[in-house]
Chain A
Amino acid sequence: KNEVEQSPQNLTAQEGEFITINCSYSVGISALHWLQQHPGGGIVSLFMLSSGKKKHGRLIATINIQEKHSSLHITASHPRDSAVYICAVKETSGSRLTFGEGTQLTVNP
C-alpha cells in the first residue's frame, strides 16, 4: 500500500463544474503539497500546507491532520485546468517528499 493515495485516478468534468480531488496518507507529516503537471510535462507547486485551508483564485486546498486527509477543490472548472494533480507529503522525520500517483483531470468545454 502506498504511503500516499489519491482518488480518483481519473476525472472528467464539464466546464463550470466543482471538482474535488482527494489525498490520504499513512505517515506523520510536517507538510503536504499539491502540484500541477500540465500536458507539456512541467510541474509547478500549487499549495504547501500543514493545517487548515489555503485559497488561490479558483483553487482551494484543505487538510485534516487528525484524519490524515487533504482535498484540492477547483471551483468553476475550465478546460485550461486539465492537468495531472499530484499530492506529496513531507514526513515528520526526513527531508524528502513522498508522492501520490496523481489524478488526471480533463475538463471538457
Chain B
Amino acid sequence: NAGVTQTPKFQVLKTGQSMTLQCAQDMNHNSMYWYRQDPGMGLRLIYYSASEGTTDKGEVPNGYNVSRLNKREFSLRLESAAPSQTSVYFCASNGRGFYEQYFGPGTRLTVT
C-alpha cells in the first residue's frame, strides 16, 4: 500500500495563478482532510470530506476549493493564489470510527 500520496511535492506560483493539489489514499478510508502548516502555528484544517460526496469547511477555507472525486481522491484548488497561501500543505485520511490519521508527504507551495 502506498498510503496517502500527494502531488506535486514542490510548487512555485505567481500571484493570481491557479493550481490543484492532488491527494489519493489506497486504504479505503472514508474521511479525508486538507491542512496547511505555517511556522509558529499548528496544523490548521482547510477543508475535509467525511465521506465520498460530502465536503465541509474547516478553520481556514477562504481562497480554496475542494473536490472529493471518489473515495480515493480529494483535491485542493487555489483559484487565484496569494502570497498568504505560501505554506506546506498536508493531506490526511482516516477510516470510519478510527481517529488515527495517516498523512501524505506534504506539498511545499511558494506564491511570489
Contacts and interface: CB of A to CB of B under 8 A. Distances in A.
Chain B's interface size range is: 20 to 34
Query: Most chain-A CB neighbours within 10 Å: which of B41, B100, B105?
Result: B100
A95 B50 contact: yes
B99 A101 contact: no
Contacts, number: 51
B37 to A, nearest CB: 9
Interface in A71-109: 86, 88, 90, 95-102
Contacts of A86: 42-43
User: In terms of DSSP, what is the predominant structure of the interface of chain A?
Assistant: strand
Interface in A4-34: 4, 30-31, 33
B88 interface: yes
B99 A90 contact: yes
Contact of A30 (B43, B99, B101): B99
Nearest to B40: A101
Interface stretch (A38-46, A51-59, A61-69): A38-46
Contacts of A97: 43, 45, 99, 101
Contact of A2 (B42, B50, B88, B102): B42
B44 to A, nearest CB: 8
Contacts of A60: none
Nearest to A48: B100
Given A86-B42, A95-B50, A96-B45, A45 B106 contact: no
B78 to A, nearest CB: 20
B90 interface: yes
Nearest to A3: B42
24 contacts: A33-B100, A35-B103, A41-B88, A41-B106, A41-B108, A43-B103, A43-B106, A44-B103, A45-B101, A45-B103, A48-B99, A86-B43, A88-B43, A90-B99, A96-B33, A96-B45, A97-B43, A97-B45, A98-B42, A99-B43, A99-B44, A100-B42, A101-B40, A101-B41
